[in-house]
Amino acid sequence: MNKFFLKITLQSDMCVSDGGVYNSSVDIDVCHDENGFPYIPAKRIRGCLRECAIELQDWGMEIPWEKMFGGKGESAKRAAIRIGDAHLEEFCEMNSLAKKNTGKTVFHPQNILNHFAYTRTQTAINHETGVAEPTSLRTMRVVAKGTVFIAEINMEPSYEETLRTCCDVWHNMGVSRTRGLGEIKVSLKPANSSEEERKHVAYQEGAEILWYQLQLEEPVICKSVNGQEARTLDYIEGSKMQGLLLENAASREEVICMIGSGELFCSNAYISINNIRGTEVPAYIHAVKNDENHYVNGLYPDPDCVKNEHLQLNRMKHCYAYIDEKQKLHREKVRIEERYHHRRPEDKGIGRASEEKNGDSQFYQMSSVEAGQTFQGYFAGTADQIKTIYNILSQRGIYHIGYSRTSEYGRVRLRITDMGKKPQSIRRKTKNFCVKLEAPAIVYNKNAFYSTNADDLIEEVNVVLGISKDMQANIRKYVQYVVLGGYNVTWKCPKPVIVAFEKGTVLSYSLPFETELTVPPVFLVGERVTEGYGEASIHFLDDMESTQGLLEISDDRKGQPEGLVDAAESEFTYAFAHVR
């Protein structure tokens, strides 16, 4: 695909709203990001171009609008043109400057937004009395005339001329486009042929593990089984990375055979914390109510201070963490955002989104993993498999994953960060240890049914570690469950809905005598392990004797304190003054 830039110049004030309420004093607000910069959502651009294409077809031109912009329903094929959000000209430089000065008053998001937009008020007049109608006063924020937005477009060169024609007849967008707002001038230009920035590590001959990092440049949607598009997972599944390999491989058959061999493991990608791949907090970690700085290790009896002070302990859930060598817990929550969308009625004489006759609303929202976050994962397999994966992923630096990736969602910057041999199998004599699930585990029972019985999970773990069935082990269970599903794009049908063991589940073993365990380099249990399920880790409790008592939490989510700067001398004045 070739890269193009869509330039949108405002010929009048414009309001592109998504229905969200950002400010209680503004009834209709413009779309803007967390730093206050206004933008035009890609789905809005796609919808307007699609309308122009349909109109051109009505005039007698041959326009493959459904192939270019996609259709409706599961049977529709993916759009051939990929559109990104339209950001301000020189957005990267301004956004970098705003992030550099986070917390300073002048760079407050509201101040940045007010630099590019302002509010307008309107009311309805009663023609009989000549006074304003009650409760008719409305406040709308608009982006100022003259502002320029740039959107990135990826498509085959064969569509260039057709898309350029659509741009020529596209003159309005946004709210009140028939009342003077939203007049635009659109042009399409090829991007420079400069190579994408790629910072992959050099290939290591014989490597059996490949680590990668995903930096989200757009929100990413990984649908969960609940509510389909209304909910997203807070991590990127291994199956998504398999799909990425298939889409970008020169030979799909080679990748399919590689995945079907059962020797390749594609891990889930979890949030990066201080350049370390975070994992789900173990189920035995307890938070102290009203105390954000300490936690308790539930594998040991409650410390005296907990009993004496009658502290209430709660299970720490819904966050990722790692524990350093000093037993300090570093945690991070994945930021999830809701974006609002709407589609106009089939009758284009209605200039607004409205409910259909059958009662289905044309307004909808999509949950996604917020852009700007970094995730880490890895592939483990044979040396030939890892070499093939490296050759596929090192070709580019920018990829698209997840749902709705042809507009607004799914753009990520992938970087191969490390390669190497698999670690040696661990052989150690021990009595006390625990096994933690780093990914959801799908387990069958003896009757070949999906099981949520912890004893079936224990049996799977015992087989991997070589623990005899006759050994009378004392096992404490810290079990969590999750509902799994998905959608098979090839077969165009949903995957089975399964209740499985959630990541963070822990089995704490106490054996009657010291036993030599053999832990494989990649510890996997259960079914569908090639898709990222069943990843586990082992922790020897003999090494954790110092974890009793109240332990410290290092919360990496804390932001920078706000400061004050002189507005007249700030970088803001010089950086943004020439943009409008």
Q: From first to last of the 580 residues of the chain, give the pLDDT tens digit.
A: 789 999 999 999 999 987 776 667 888 889 998 889 999 999 999 999 998 999 999 888 888 988 899 876 555 678 899 999 999 998 989 988 998 888 888 889 889 999 999 998 888 888 888 888 888 888 889 999 999 999 999 999 999 999 999 999 999 998 888 888 989 999 999 987 555 667 899 999 999 999 999 999 999 998 877 644 568 899 999 999 999 999 999 888 999 999 888 889 999 999 999 899 999 999 988 888 888 888 888 887 766 777 777 778 888 877 899 888 888 889 899 999 888 887 777 666 665 666 666 555 577 788 899 999 999 999 999 999 999 999 999 988 999 998 888 888 999 999 999 999 988 888 888 888 999 999 999 999 988 899 999 999 999 999 999 888 888 889 999 999 998 887 776 677 777 888 999 999 999 999 988 888 889 989 999 999 988 999 999 988 876 655 566 777 876 554 333 333 343 334 444 444 444 4
Q: Which helix (H) or strand (E) holds 49?
A: helix 42-58
Residue at 22 is within a domain = yes
Residue 248 is part of a domain; what is its CATH number? 3.30.70
CATH of the domain at 532: 2.60.40.4350
Q: What is the pTM of this model?
A: 0.87
Q: Do 131 and 148 share a domain, yes or no?
A: yes
Query: Which residues, other chains included, contact 295 with Cβ-Cβ below 8 Å and sequence gap of 6+?
Result: 285, 286, 287, 288, 316, 329, 550, 551, 553
Measured between its terminal Cα atoms, the distance across the chain in Å is: 32
Closest by Cα among 332, 318, 308 to 550: 308
> Rounded CA gap, 442 and 451, in Å?
8
Report the DSSP beta bridge partners of residue 8. Answer: 149, 186
Compute the distance between CA of residue 344 and CA of residue 333 in angstroms, rounded to an integer.
36
Query: 537 and 476 share a domain?
Result: yes
Give me the pLDDT at residue 303, please. 67
- Catalogue the long-range contacts made by 69-75 (C-beta closer than 8 Å, 24 or more residues apart): 70/46, 70/406, 74/492, 75/492
Check whether residue 380 and residue 507 sit in a common domain: no
- How many folded domains does the chain comprise? 3
Counting runs of H as helices and runs of E as strands, what totals does the chain give?
11, 32
What are the residues whose beta carbons fall under 8 Å from the beta carbon of 356, sequence distance 6 or more? 345, 362
CA distance 451 to 525: 13
Residue 414 buriedness (CB in 10 A; 0-12 / 13-18 / 19+): buried
Query: Which residues, 6 or more positions from 287, have their beta carbon under 8 angstroms from its beta carbon?
Result: 295, 313, 314, 315, 316
Measure the CA–CA gap between 538 and 434, rounded to whole angstroms.
6
Distance of alpha carbon 38 from the chain centroid:
21
Strand ranges inside 257-410, DSSP E: 265-266, 270-273, 276-277, 279-280, 285-288, 291-297, 313-315, 320-323, 329-332, 336-342, 363-369, 374-380, 398-400
Please choose, from the candidates 168, 183, 179, 177, the residue with its C-alpha nearest in 3D space to the C-alpha of residue 49. 168
Identify whether residues 150 and 253 lie together within a single domain. no
Q: Round to whole Å and give the CA distance between 297 and 281.
A: 11
Q: Please, are residues 188 and 165 in contact by the beta-carbon 8 Å criterion?
A: no
Helix (H, G, I), strand (E, B) or coil at 35: coil
Q: Within this chain, do residues 442 and 410 fall inside the same structural domain, yes or no? A: no
Pair (65, 161) in one structural domain: yes
- For 531, the 3-state DSSP assignment is helix
Q: Which residue has the tokens 């912890």?
A: 454
CA dihedral (574, 575, 579, 580) in degrees, to 10, reads: -50
Q: What is the DSSP string of 406-456?
A: TBTS-EEEEEEEEEEPPPPPEEEEEEEEEEEESS-BBEE-TTSSEE--HHH
Whether 117 maps to a domain, the answer reads yes
- Alpha-carbon dihedral angle through residues 470, 472, 474, 475, given to the nearest 10 degrees: 10
C-alpha closest to that of 480 among 456, 457, 500: 500
Clarify whether residues 209 and 226 are in a common domain: yes
Residue 173 and residue 152 in one domain: yes
Tokens of 366: 């999509």
Cβ neighbors of 37 (< 8 A, separation 6 or more) are 87, 88, 91, 94, 95, 98, 112, 113, 116
Domain end, chosen from 170, 194, 218, is at 194
Are both 85 and 221 inside the same structural domain? no
Sign of CA dihedral 66, 72, 77, 82: positive
Between CA 92 and CA 76 the distance in angstroms is: 35
| Tokens 């599903």 sit on residue | 485
Q: Give domain status of residue 307, yes or no.
A: no
CA 407 to chain centre: 14
CA 255, CA 259: separation in Å to the nearest integer?
6
* Residues 441 and 473 occupy one common structural domain: yes
Q: How many residues can be counted in the chain?
A: 580
H or E segment at 97? helix 91-100
**142: exposed, middle or buried (C-beta count within 10 Å: 0-12, 13-18, 19+)?**
buried
Alpha carbon 492 to its chain centroid, in Å, reads 23
pLDDT of residue 554: 76
Tell me whether residue 568 is in a domain: no
Residue 578 lies in a domain: no
Q: Show which of 172, 194, 216 is a domain's final residue.
A: 194
In eight-state DSSP terms, residue 497 is: P
Answer yes or no: do 276 and 385 share one domain. yes
Radius of gyration of the chain (CA): 27
Residue 409 within a domain:
yes
Q: Considering 404, 422, 440, which residue would you say is the last residue of a domain?
A: 422
| Domain carrying residue 259 | 197-281+317-340+366-422
Contact indicator for 153, 1 with CB cutoff of 8 Å:
no
30 close to 173: Cβ distance less than 8 angstroms: no
Residue 347 within a domain:
no
Structural domain contains residue 132 = yes
Residue carrying structure tokens 């399964």: 498
pLDDT score recorded for residue 241: 93
Residues 105 and 201 in one domain: no
